[in-house]
Structure 1
Amino acid sequence: MCGIAGIFHLSDQTKIDADLIAKMNDRQIHRGPDAGDYFFDPGVALAHRRLSIIDLEGSPQPMLSADKRACVVFNGEIYNFKELHKELSAKGYTFNTHGDTETILNAWLEWGEECVHKLRGMFAFAIWDRQKECLFIARDRLGIKPFFYSLLPSGEFIFGSELKVITAHPAFNRELRNTTIEDYFSLGYVPEPHTIYHNAFKLPPGHTLMLHKADKGLPEAKEYWDVPVNFAQPLDQKEIEEQLIERLKEAVDIRMVADVPLGSFLSGGVDSSAVVAMMSQLQSDPVNTCAIGFDVKAFNETEYAQTVADRYQTNHRVEVVSQDDFDLVDQLANLYDEPYADSSAIPTFRVCELARKHVTVALSGDGGDELFAGYSRYRLHKLEESIRSKLPLGLRKPVFGPLGKLYPKIDWAPRIFRAKTTFQSMAMDTVEGYHNTMSIFRSDDRAKLFSDEYKRSLNGYSSLEIFKKYGDKVKHLDETKIAQYIDMKTYLVGDILTKVDRASMAHSLEVRVPIIDHKFVEWAFKVPSDKNLANGVGKLSFKKALEPHLPHDVLYRKKMGFAVPLANWFRGPLKERLYEGVLSKQMTESGYFNKSHLQRLINDHVSGRRDNSASLWTLMMFESFLRQQKAS
């Protein structure tokens, strides 16, 4: 696991300033504390920070091919590199190292742009080909590894593994992108391909980018893989029962190759427990596992993690974190480089911190809920859709629309009485309804939050457009598959994988994600929705397959998630900070917000009339970002 950076001048052949590329690369030293080096050609500079995992003494980067034609910088792991090594050796290619980096180089020389189809793993890399005078860039299929880039007015294409690498360039313009502020306050993150900055971008998952000398501008990124959505025949029950564990175990197995200590997160939930169960069956030594607990029972899952640890006799470590562990609040803006509102970033940071004390590589269970329909919102979405199918939109809109506007927001009431969001969603179509469910500030809330000036500047744009773009690609699928696909394109990459990448790399920890191995995804997404979601139970096919491997209480208890007690923080130890931040001059004079509504959100929450904790955290993280921007 590493950090990469580079400068590629589209028109100038002069040598890149060595101090400048070093400054950019040093911004991500936490991603690779073991080594750092550079490559220079006229108009080209490639940089690398290394966290040594495989071939510890060999495989230095940037790496030149044996014939000196091509040079690569690479972040990630290629799990099938040994098979590719054999295939390419048979074709006459020379290998001087024992790692996966040289495999990418020779794959490029043999197959060109098509080389990405041969690679199985998580990756973001850039290859400079001297012969073709091109820079080829690729990102893995699910977006596990990040890639940021920008084209400067000077003609310099700059890139890095984190956004802070881009902003380190003195010529980069930090003007904010207007529409991504709307996206952020809707979703809690900035979705691909945009960033918070107008002129910086994320290469989307499953895409490549090819640049040539003398290009006049940025070419379009090219998609080379997508979640398969046109399966001729879905899997039947027998196939699921026979194949799921075998395929999952194989995906875990190929991620257990490392020349450094390896372990796994073990939260006590289904997904991480499944990964630990597979690991324990694949190695004779006890698996290293770690868990973070909270000193408040409602947020603590460690007893379930301990049950799994005991069953498989793992080397289990637990650290208990105080419910008032909010010391990281000021660090989060620097960690994520742009507004990011998932508060579970705090315990994720802590569990990565714990893991790094004992291992350099950790496996995680991320992706299981998106792949097997595990979130409770899928059940609610399915219920809403069953009503939509019986009543046409022309009838639903005049009935449910007014109810959604008039029904009060009753956060403290039992769930059955908190119907405002449901009424709103019932007046919408499938994709708009799901977008409403996923929004932190829903459309009516954003209308109150934003200033009239900012709303005019959006020219009618809404983050709903992102969901519609993906929803249109899978409109032939059922409502659950549509929601899952949208999540895999937005929430999984923009929130979950972003959270884990930044939190883990802050501690120089590599995290591998077997459940979203692309071959496993291609198989598992064919599982019919009624096999995943039935009788009020989500992820049913996954849980049934795991019954011989995990305790019933772990499989079928209510999902907790990595929650933190925001509501209590904002009425107690963070109350003063909340007022000072959300009502600060830089927020109220930014031009984005309706100041009176900001005041109302805080007052309603502190008084106990409403639970606005998610909204207030989203605002506080935005203020923290603005403050960091001003200071840098």
Structure 2
Amino acid sequence: MSGIAAVIGADDKQALETMLEKIQHRGAGQHLIYENGKYRLGEINVTENKVIHTGDDDYGVIFDGMPVYGGKVLTRTKILELYKTEGPGFIKNIAGNFVIIISNTDEFFIARDPYGTKPLYYSKDGKYTLVASEIKSLTPLTDKIEIFPPGHFFTQTKELKRFKDVPVPVAKKQLDTEEAAAELNKLLSGAVEKVLQQNNDVGSFLSGGLDSSAVVAAASKISSNPLPTFAVGLENSSDILNARKVAKFLRTDHYEYLYTADEMMEVLPDVIYHLESFDVELVNSSIANYLVAQLAHRQGIKIALSGEGADELFAGYHHLKKCADERELNEELASLMKGLHNGGLQRVDRMTQAHSLECIMPFMDPKVVEFALGLPAHFKLSESGTEKWILRQAFSTDLPEEVVWRTKEQFGIGTGNEDIMKQMISQKVTDREYKRAKERSSFPFKNKEEYFYYNIFKEFFPAKSAEETVNRWLV
């Protein structure tokens, strides 16, 4: 876990410090600084406390995430070795989740993984380029902010260049149901096992749905001690009730927090500040994510497991049933994967990092992703219309039947958030106020909730460019 920032083209130490202070929550460690003339790089990191240069031609390397090459997680030294040997093209062979910045006195290189698992924004303002993990790092210094696009790299000579796109799923290997289910169980369990072996103080979010339950089931088979699990929601919400069932079945060390409608409204400004979005669906689901991350953090958890990514890989959304054929389904799945970076991945990253908590998503493990992309479409959405068919089969003996076949619910719905927020905002925003706002504003609000969230967002991020980074999912 780390937050990163860079000032390129200006010898401005104060600017870098200002940027890092704004994202101090992304790491409990010291500011790691690399300075060399017109290039300044900074990182907030929990594992190191030193100047970040390699001693080799005075290069500086900062990164966030876990870049993987040849099956091994890369160190700074290995990243630089590959860059110096192969040039910017080395990034085509790097898997995993990452943002990487390399610089010396004459050059710089910036890259972000194809799925955008780790966040990155940038601003080109005259001769200067500013880069940071979050928008809030850039707003004190510029009003020109853009998303650094996933799967691209940026150099002083080539500007932005795509190095890898999100592939459209294509069936590559013929497996029967039993073989495919066994392989998926093995791969997901392997992804979980790596986390448990390499880290202490690991827990897992648990909504009681298939995705998070599969992750917890995999971890429970591996760990010799009960896995800490965490659930939040309104009293008697479906997530709370289902999480209890799964926790009891798997014998986890389960923690839950029942919040009230007033608490949801109380944390809303903090949620929007950290989320950096006013999209209604994203905000509603983020409230629960924020509170469950807070719960885990208070119990001493440093790394939380999440089931994020399963819906996009294994066709978990109801609207996918409308796809006419396998080709259309695969194209829609690729589109969903491309949108993760400012959707579900943004929610998970910001809400966990708000509490200095690292979140690892086993479904986004490179081996799991590769396997999912190569499965036939009918293993994801069955001929009878069952979503995530192969994932259900993979964990059919590890979980209660009612969990395996539970219908998909959006995170904000399962916790009980969506209806409550709609009711509370309807009381705060009169029909007259909303009508006048729509008449006077050039922004096309889709409902009262968006109007309410938008106003909070603009208090924190007034720049038009910040507003334009928001993906309005159901517009």
TM-score (normalizing by structure 1): 0.67
Equivalenced residues, count: 456
Distance 1:583 1:119, change over 3 A: same
Aligned partners of 2:432, 2:212: CA distance in 1, in Å? 36
- Determine if contact 2:234/2:417 at 8 Å carries over to the other structure: no
- Determine if contact 2:285/2:417 at 8 Å carries over to the other structure: no
In the alignment, structure 1 residue 128 sits paired with structure 2 residue 103: yes
1:557 match: secondary structure: coil
Distance 1:630 1:373, change over 3 A: closer
Q: 2:269 — aligned with what? A: 330
Aligned partners of 2:76, 2:346: CA distance in 1, in Å? 23
- Determine if contact 1:79/1:254 at 8 Å carries over to the other structure: no
- Determine if contact 2:99/2:112 at 8 Å carries over to the other structure: yes
Q: 1:622 — aligned with what? A: 454
Say which structure is richer in strand. Answer: 2
2:385 match: secondary structure: coil
Which of these two proteins has the greater Rg computed from alpha carbons? 1
Distance 1:354 1:84, change over 3 A: closer
Cα deviation, 1:291-322, whole Å, max 9, x if unaligned, reads: 11321x3x332232223222332221111112
- Determine if contact 1:142/1:516 at 8 Å carries over to the other structure: no
1:511 match: secondary structure: strand
1:553 match: secondary structure: helix
Question: Match for 1:204 among 132, 146, 149?
Answer: 149
Q: 1:44 — aligned with what? A: 39
Cα RMSD after superposing both structures: 2.8
Query: Which AA in structure 1 matches 2:119?
Result: P
The alpha carbon displacement at 1:377 in A equals 1.6
Aligned partners of 2:459, 2:305: CA distance in 1, in Å? 35
Distance 1:306 1:202, change over 3 A: same
1:547 match: secondary structure: coil
The alpha carbon displacement at 1:41 in A equals 1.0
- Determine if contact 1:333/1:340 at 8 Å carries over to the other structure: no
Cα deviation, 1:146-180, whole Å, max 9, x if unaligned, reads: 01111112x101100001112121xx2x3xxxxxx
Aligned partners of 1:588, 1:206: CA distance in 2, in Å? 40
Specify every segment of 5 or more residues in structure 1 that has no aligned partner in the other structure, as ranges.
10-14, 86-99, 175-198, 213-217, 387-476, 599-613
The alpha carbon displacement at 1:27 in A equals 0.8
Distance 1:19 1:110, change over 3 A: same
The alpha carbon displacement at 1:570 in A equals 3.9
Q: 2:254 — aligned with what? A: 316
In the alignment, structure 1 residue 151 sits paired with structure 2 residue 124: yes
Q: 2:303 — aligned with what? A: 361
2:393 match: secondary structure: helix
- Determine if contact 1:287/1:314 at 8 Å carries over to the other structure: yes
Q: 1:578 — aligned with what? A: 429
Report matched runs for 1:242-253 at 5 Å. Answer: 242-253=182-193
- Determine if contact 2:210/2:406 at 8 Å carries over to the other structure: no
Q: 2:58 — aligned with what? A: 69
In the alignment, structure 1 residue 140 sits paired with structure 2 residue 113: yes
Aligned partners of 2:115, 2:432: CA distance in 1, in Å? 35
The alpha carbon displacement at 1:268 in A equals 0.6
- Determine if contact 1:362/1:510 at 8 Å carries over to the other structure: yes
Cα deviation, 1:573-602, whole Å, max 9, x if unaligned, reads: 433432399649876543335xxxx7xxxx
Q: 2:367 — aligned with what? A: 519
Distance 1:219 1:78, change over 3 A: closer
In the alignment, structure 1 residue 339 sits paired with structure 2 residue 278: yes
TM-score (normalizing by structure 2): 0.87
Report matched runs for 1:194-273 at 5 Å. Answer: 199-212=144-157, 219-227=159-167, 229-233=169-173, 235-273=175-213
Distance 1:587 1:525, change over 3 A: same
Aligned partners of 2:246, 2:418: CA distance in 1, in Å? 29
2:111 match: secondary structure: strand
The alpha carbon displacement at 1:338 in A equals 4.2
Aligned partners of 2:436, 2:44: CA distance in 1, in Å? 38
Aligned partners of 2:433, 2:267: CA distance in 1, in Å? 18
> Percent identity over the alignment?
27
Aligned partners of 1:320, 1:120: CA distance in 2, in Å? 39
The alpha carbon displacement at 1:629 in A equals 4.0
The alpha carbon displacement at 1:250 in A equals 1.7
Aligned partners of 1:62, 1:125: CA distance in 2, in Å? 16
Specify every segment of 5 or more residues in structure 2 that has no aligned partner in the other structure, as ranges.
467-475
- Determine if contact 2:229/2:252 at 8 Å carries over to the other structure: yes
